Amino acid sequence: MPPMPSRLIPTAIAVALGVGCPALAQDTANPPPGWLQNFGLAVLRAQDSDDTRLISPIGLATVIAMLADGTDTDTEATALGLAGADPLGAVSGHWRAMAGGDHGATIRFASGVWLAPDFSLRDSFAARQQAALSARVARVDFTQPQTLSLLNDWFAEATGGMIPQLLDDLPPDTRIVLGNALALQGRWETAFDPGLTIPAPFTAGDGTQHTVDLMRREGVFEYRETADHSAVILPFAGDVLTVTLYLPTVGTPLETLLEPGGALASADGFEPRVGRVEVPRLNLRAGGNLSETLRGMGMLTGTHYPRLTPEPLVIGPVIHRTAMTLDEQGVEAAAATAAIGLRTAGAERFVLRLDRPFTLAITHRPSDTPVFMGLVVTP
């Protein structure tokens, strides 16, 4: 009888808003434009949930790329939209583009590989992860109860405490854990005045009403209005990282905005407009086991990862948790910012009031990296 394959927990991914990026490898692939946005939208569409959904496309893709680097097939690369390209080089390129500079935000990123004491890891695999992602590689005893606390403590520290417990347990046959954590902390280019925040009703996806703290700000914004949605861009200080808020028109299903070529897939059509933005304070927590979602997308189906290990291996839970706090000062931040004035033609003033389900994206503009994407059903 052939040996039973061991279990791999590939993504202990923890994602939140707070960073010092590590030094990254200098070699990159040439991935097709928009592959990461398309991957993130595909994951959001594939999740079978009527609740709030929040993911980090770059965080999740990083762990899938780590796994893809261990196989001799193109399965994971194809599902990522990177057939024929180097997934590890592609994600490394995004991280390198976001490293350094004044983003008006702090981005903390860390990756790790934890192995059972007797697990046979290819030295070349470890070297590639360290070169591309500055990944930590360490051996731990998964049979000891303190190992669970050790891993959770690592993710908690890497996310500034926003993901205090990523893993609820470790399967008894765990042999290796691949992990990635991302935290982002930012301040607005122009802060909301807390004195203008008011209690207001928010109609959730199931029709129930909730009272939320609605932040309000008037000014000049990058604004877009189409037949199926309105959208506004709120920049962090420095205008390198931005939050884009998308509100579907009345009668348009929220999921419509996630379609290929839809609202979140395009940054075209925005123009400076005078108006008022009203958005609820957000304190979002989402996530769980995404293994079935990813298998439905054609990933995690292999039992051999010969570039990672000579051992047979199957994929266990894929844990992806996210946390986001958005308030008058920014995203999980408390820092004043300077206002920027723009001159526009005398267009009609708009009012964008997000008092029902909407979608959002946090993007690193120069590299077009989707750091977070989500659907807010209940703030």
Mean pLDDT value across the chain: 82
**Nearest-angstrom CA–CA distance, 315 and 177:** 10
Question: pLDDT of 343-379, one tens digit each?
Answer: 233 446 899 999 999 999 999 888 899 999 999 998 8
DSSP character string of 274-314:
EEEEEEE-EEEEEEEE-HHHHHHTT-S--SB-TTT-SSBEE
pLDDT-derived band at 333, boundaries 50, 70, 90: very low
Question: pLDDT of 199-235, one tens digit each?
Answer: 999 999 888 999 999 999 999 999 999 999 999 999 9
- Backbone torsions φ then ψ of 66, nearest 5 degrees: -60, -45
Rounded to two decimals, the pTM is 0.88
Alpha-carbon torsion 116, 121, 123, 126, what sign?
negative
Encoded amino acid at 273, one letter: R
Percent with pLDDT over 70 in the chain: 86
| 161 vs 81: which has the higher pLDDT | 81
pLDDT-derived band at 289, boundaries 50, 70, 90: confident
* Per-residue pLDDT at 26 exceeds 80: no
Domains, the chain, ranges and CATH? 6-186+284-324 (3.30.497.10), 187-281+337-376 (2.30.39.10)
